[in-house]
Structure 1
Amino acid sequence: MNNSCSHVTGECYGCFDGYWDSFCDHECNTTSYGEGCRQTCSVNCVNQLCHHETGFCNSCNESRLGDFCEIGRQQEDESGGGASILAVVGALVVILVILAVVGGIFIWRNRKQKSTEKRKDENDIHLSNWTFRFHTAPFEECEAENGEVTAASAPTNSVTDTIAVSVQELKTYIQQHSVDSHFLDQFLSVPMTSGSPQTCGVLPENIKKNRYKNIIPYDASRVPLLTVDGEKDSDYINASFVKGYMTDKAFIASQGPNDIVLNDFVRMLWEQKIDKVVMLTNLIEEGKKKCSMYWPVEGEEEFGDVSVRLLTTHVFAEYTIRHLRLSKSGEPCRHLTQFHFTAWPDKSVPESPWGLVDFHHRVMAVPGSGPVLVHCSAGVGRTGTFIGLCNLLKEAEATGSMDFQSVLWKLRQDRMHTIQTVEQYKYLHKVALVGYYTAGTIINVKDMHFRLADLESDEDNSTSSRNYKQEFDAVVEVCDATVPKIREPINEGDQTVYQNLGGTANRRKDRLSNILPNPAYRPDLTAAVPHEDTYINAVLVPNLTKNGHDILTQLPLPLTVTDFWRLVTQFNAGLIVAFAADSDQPDETVGDFLPKSETEPFENDRFLVETKHHTERGLVSEFTLTVHKKIVPGMDSSITETKKTLALLLCKTSELDPESVLELQEQISFRRPTGSSRTIYMCRNGADHCGLMCVQSILLDRLKFDQCLAVPVVVGSIKAIRPQVIPTVDQYKCLYRVLKLAYDSQNVYGNVTDVSSASEI
């Protein structure tokens, strides 16, 4: 209202008629209208549906007329008097004329029928589809929890002709249909809603309890709360029981609570004895509040009659795990684990399926007795995708196949609009493929020696569940099916795949034409002077606790030395782990970028790099570098920091046996920066040696924290970003053997003892 809002939060001080919520970005529910949505649509409107601003009825009940359906037909007839007789006579004349015209058309069409029969049939089909959509207009658009608009379909009681895909054929199936309309056709064939009654959610007293006006639970599957103080409307919350694979009420799909229902949401956790919550949205996304916080930042907080205490928080790259304790006066306290996936971008799907699969492993590893509560913002899109993944993997385990279309239909029988977009439906196929092939591959340390003996078995040993080569090949094949191909463009207009954006000028900055950065992960350099290029052949990769934090890049070419130091300074590198080019065979493609000695710094027109405290430590030369940025004409005046100090570990060997890798990892662990400072891993091609060290570092951190080996999941997550990482089965074996060596010798982190919270995770 009047463009007036809080200068801190942007929340509105008032909304125009027909709109509500903190940012006035939601229309009134379909049964309310006007200022603050406080007025209720006329009971004479069909289904009590009216325009959110004016209150005019969409259509009237039988024998009612007028904008608000306030006029009875009998009343109108009485007021019409004798004029109605004239109207009847006029109508009869019009009808006679219409009959004459129709008769003429009928005769003409009969003469043309045979010659146009085929075309007529096709047109009838198209007209029928169009008319059908027109008559379902009230359900035509759905305000998605990720901001998208999705088409709805009419209710139906079944879906036929579904195809269960064998897990052995799933990879080929995904590749075959990656560019055609197959997934779209399947998605559109399943109605968004079952047509079941939704009367409770649209009652006037419940309207504001719905985060989105057209995401309403079915009466038959909604989660009823216990009434409070005899208030009949206190039993409603926008949440639905959802079936698992061959299991009733395995899940509760819920909207993320708004402030109005915050206490009700916590009450539902208590009443339904929830011990696992899966949260798939962030609290704020693109400036909009997607979910109210139902746990304390620290300590304890009361939500109605239920107190919630935060016990522990563990932050990982793409998700956070919190342990909560719920208590209520006079009753034993309960414990709950919240799994919060933080890497699902608004209005999209995650770039890679590996993070969600790792997250799913976490959720399933924790035992639970009640239903798993899953929520995002609306509780349908991301929520439906995760529940669909759970059910598909159970189906694959039981039958060896997955019926995606049937799973989609079954979900929508319990909650409308689950899996909202075709992009989510496509993504579900990729996640299910990765989830199936990585099932059972996360090894607890207590089972390490048994499982490694199994992996060490001969390739032809039929009694082995999976050996190194088979597991490695599976990871490579799954990545091949789920990761977009990256190559140089055939011509300047070729935009069919991810490529080295920027054309010919940037291709000279790539050492190898088959190792290019995916633009989704490439760090964009900042132009400090006019027209300066922003491209560098590098990718952002996660470490254990931060997504997109560290960097893999190639040793700089003579052309890209300045770009490399721009990367170091602009992305706050605190440690560089570099594999030197072989000094016995000089490589002219590697530019000079380091000081030659403490008295001979490196210098070009943009940077001066000095070194002190050069130390030789076994396989590593350790340097302390000071990088000075030069101020040049045209440089951005906002740049004030001109000096940076960091460490460089220069690895002098490329013979990376497990003992050498472990020794290098010890040095990396000792010098690894903290806080926001990054680690840059670099080698000649930006993938092979530096990729091994990056992956091994994450695996050792997980061994320390989780007491588990998660090799396929971690390798897959990095190969999804840089496919050339871990290129051979020998490197893949090395990862396992270093973990075993580290655990047995306790050489990297000291005693690897049980972490009290890790066993729960």
Structure 2
Amino acid sequence: MSSPRNFRADAVKDYKRDDSVTEDLDFRETLPSSSQKKKSKVLGNEANSKKVKKLSLQKIPHDNYEYSSEEASESESDHSVWTPHGSLGRDRWSSEYGGSAGPSQTVSPLLSDIHKIVTEGELNQLAQIRPLIFNFHEQSAIKDCLKMLEKKVAEYDIIQEFMDLEFKNLPGEFIFGNQPSNREKNRYRDILPWRVCIITLKNTSKIKLTVLLAGRFKIGHLVRDWGCFHSWQDKDDSTRVPLGKGKDYINASYIRIVNYEEEYFYIASQGPLPGTVDDFWQMVLENNSNIIAMITREIESGIMKCYHYWPTSLKKPLELKCLRIFLENYQILQYFTVRMFQIVEKSTGTSHFVKHLQFTKWPDHGTPASADGFIKYARYVRKSHLTGPMVVHCSAGVGRTGVFICVDVVFCAIEKNYSFDIMNIATQMREQRPGMIQTQEQYHFCYEIVLKVLQKLLTLD
């Protein structure tokens, strides 16, 4: 167990990616594989995949916006924070200027704190993770945990852990992603949501089982080898995120991680393509998600990693088929950019507010040189979360996305004096979406981040 033994859980009652399917499917030969050199509780208890009560629906006019179906200019802004003039009648968000929060950019914050969404001091404070109970016993447990994790890293045990994960990450059946009408909605041919079935065994309750394409655990083998098969039923929507009443397809998966008494709820999604922007925002709205965590730049090493799916101007909203997306405010920080969006349903005029947090310091290859910036980013994302599952995406929606989800769960566990197991978290993720935490280097980065947090924790008074 990669953790401070129990972290006094009893005292705190209040609180794959091998290269996926190697069998090349003829009808998707035009799509790149994710392994190629890229060419071309929620802590939310009430949020789940069912209908949840919407938090921020209201009818608000936007008389001061210029409606345009054209994409706004992507010129760089002269400042790190911009807000719309007269928008929403919010006195705290006001400016006489229009700016651009377009492509990923690094601009030194120069404005006074009154215009900032978050200060560097607040981020530094968030990065200081401290358990609810921090007595002598807990400090001793944390020291033991730290020694154990350091030993695993020093002796390369985590390499074996990752290899074991690859073995567990068996190819599943991607029935929806492979349908002809959905092929163009996938960025990579080998990263698709699982098809999951419910298997009923004689004299037992129902269990989840991923149906394998060519494995020994096909239905017939359950009958022949186990002699216990009774019936089975498709549960295609159990991890696949459905859109609308017709349960249309988007390359995104529900991810639920259980650690002690807590369930952490996310949507892991690929970065939108030009043809899936409407679907992506529909997914955000239908799941009542107030957070989008984007862990990629739009273009890296000259390669398109994610389509620019948000408005770039404070004056011109992004016009979609059924929705209108307004950029209300933004701030460019050292490691990430914060954007405040309002989604307006054209048919009803109701609004939903979303905070978009884009981490911009992940290098084109490998992992960030320092864990500090990513720790601040992850903590601010968690602090900002209010409703629905967090929507997390990178390019494919598995590698960096998996790293974020893993460390977010661990940070929450440390705060509540719960033990944690990084390999168990990764295993749970991969059971719900293939290839989560895609490379050995990313897996090592998860340990590096956790070690950094625990080492800092032991320096506290």
In structure 2, which of residues 177, 180, 186 is the aligned counterpart of residue 201 of structure 1? Answer: 177
> Compared with structure 1, are the counterparts of its residues 276 and 145 closer, same or farther at alpha carbon in structure 2 (3 Å cutoff)?
farther
Per-residue deviation, residues 116-170 of structure 1 (Å, max 9, x unmatched): xxxxxxxxxxxxxxxxxxxxxxxxxx6249859xxxxxxxxxxxxxxxx964334
Helix, strand or coil for the counterpart of 1:264? Answer: helix
> Compared with structure 1, are the counterparts of its residues 144 and 331 closer, same or farther at alpha carbon in structure 2 (3 Å cutoff)?
farther
User: 2:25 aligned with 1:30, yes or no?
Assistant: yes
Describe how 1:635-646 pairs up with structure 2 within 5 A. none
Give 2:233's aligned residue.
none
Helix, strand or coil for the counterpart of 2:177? Answer: helix
Check conservation: 1:167, 1:400, Cα contact below 8 A: no
Query: Aligned AA for 1:431?
Result: I
Return the alpha-carbon distance in structure 2 between the equivalents of residues 224 and 419 of structure 1.
23
Give unmatched runs, 5+ long, in structure 2: 1-21, 40-139, 196-237
Give 2:298's aligned residue.
283
Helix, strand or coil for the counterpart of 1:339? Answer: strand
Give 1:427's aligned residue.
445
Check conservation: 1:251, 1:373, Cα contact below 8 A: yes
Helix, strand or coil for the counterpart of 1:205? Answer: helix
In structure 1, which of residues 303, 306, 328 is the aligned counterpart of residue 345 of structure 2? Answer: 328
Give unmatched runs, 5+ long, in structure 1: 1-26, 38-51, 53-141, 149-164, 440-465, 473-761
Give 1:143's aligned residue.
34
Return the alpha-carbon distance in structure 2 between the equivalents of residues 386 and 261 of structure 1.
23
> Compared with structure 1, are the counterparts of its residues 273 and 28 closer, same or farther at alpha carbon in structure 2 (3 Å cutoff)?
farther
User: 2:273 aligned with 1:258, yes or no?
Assistant: yes
Per-residue deviation, residues 202-245 of structure 1 (Å, max 9, x unmatched): 11111111101000101330100015xxxx6x700000000133
Give 1:303's aligned residue.
320
Give 1:556's aligned residue.
none
Per-residue deviation, residues 635-685 of structure 1 (Å, max 9, x unmatched): xxxxxxxxxxxxxxxxxxxxxxxxxxxxxxxxxxxxxxxxxxxxxxxxxxx
Shift of 1:437: 5.9
Give 1:176's aligned residue.
151
Shift of 1:179: 4.2
> Compared with structure 1, are the counterparts of its residues 145 and 256 closer, same or farther at alpha carbon in structure 2 (3 Å cutoff)?
farther
Give 2:256's aligned residue.
243
Shift of 1:176: 2.5
Q: What is the Cα-based RMSD across aligned positions, in Å?
A: 2.9
User: 2:300 aligned with 1:272, yes or no?
Assistant: no
Return the alpha-carbon distance in structure 2 between the equivalents of residues 239 and 361 of structure 1.
23
Name which structure has the greater RCO, CA cutoff 8 Å, separation 6+.
Answer: 2
Give 2:368's aligned residue.
350
Percent identity over the alignment is 27
Give 1:210's aligned residue.
186
Return the alpha-carbon distance in structure 1 between the equivalents of residues 35 and 145 of structure 2.
29
Describe how 1:553-568 pairs up with structure 2 within 5 A. none
Per-residue deviation, residues 314-339 of structure 1 (Å, max 9, x unmatched): 01111110000000021420110011
Check conservation: 2:146, 2:454, Cα contact below 8 A: no
In structure 2, which of residues 327, 330, 348 is the aligned counterpart of residue 313 of structure 1? Answer: 330
Check conservation: 2:293, 2:393, Cα contact below 8 A: yes
> Compared with structure 1, are the counterparts of its residues 437 and 179 closer, same or farther at alpha carbon in structure 2 (3 Å cutoff)?
closer
Describe how 1:511-522 pairs up with structure 2 within 5 A. none
Return the alpha-carbon distance in structure 2 between the equivalents of residues 323 and 292 of structure 1.
18
Query: Aligned AA for 2:309?
Result: Y
Give 2:307's aligned residue.
292
Q: How many residues align?
A: 292
Return the alpha-carbon distance in structure 1 between the equivalents of residues 318 and 425 of structure 2.
39
Helix, strand or coil for the counterpart of 2:378? Answer: helix
Return the alpha-carbon distance in structure 1 between the equivalents of residues 191 and 249 of structure 2.
14
Give 2:164's aligned residue.
189
In structure 1, which of residues 363, 374, 388 is the aligned counterpart of residue 392 of structure 2? Answer: 374
Check conservation: 1:245, 1:395, Cα contact below 8 A: no
Return the alpha-carbon distance in structure 2 between the equivalents of residues 371 and 380 of structure 1.
16
Check conservation: 2:34, 2:396, Cα contact below 8 A: no
User: 2:435 aligned with 1:417, yes or no?
Assistant: yes
Check conservation: 1:383, 1:419, Cα contact below 8 A: yes
Give 2:380's aligned residue.
362
> Compared with structure 1, are the counterparts of its residues 402 and 343 closer, same or farther at alpha carbon in structure 2 (3 Å cutoff)?
same
- Which has the higher Rg, Structure 1 or Structure 2? 1
Query: Aligned AA for 2:328?
Result: L
TM-score normalised over the length of structure 1: 0.36
Check conservation: 1:144, 1:378, Cα contact below 8 A: no
Return the alpha-carbon distance in structure 2 between the equivalents of residues 180 and 403 of structure 1.
18
Query: Aligned AA for 1:295?
Result: W
> Compared with structure 1, are the counterparts of its residues 375 and 146 closer, same or farther at alpha carbon in structure 2 (3 Å cutoff)?
farther
Shift of 1:200: 0.7
Helix, strand or coil for the counterpart of 2:338? Answer: strand
Helix, strand or coil for the counterpart of 1:202? Answer: coil
Shift of 1:313: 1.1
Give 1:471's aligned residue.
460
Check conservation: 1:167, 1:396, Cα contact below 8 A: no
> Compared with structure 1, are the counterparts of its residues 321 and 29 closer, same or farther at alpha carbon in structure 2 (3 Å cutoff)?
farther
Helix, strand or coil for the counterpart of 1:143? Answer: coil
Return the alpha-carbon distance in structure 2 between the equivalents of residues 145 and 171 of structure 1.
36
Shift of 1:391: 1.3
Shift of 1:396: 3.0
Check conservation: 1:145, 1:377, Cα contact below 8 A: no
Per-residue deviation, residues 21-65 of structure 1 (Å, max 9, x unmatched): xxxxxx99724067x68xxxxxxxxxxxxxx9xxxxxxxxxxxxx
Compare the two structures and name the one with the higher helix fraction: 1
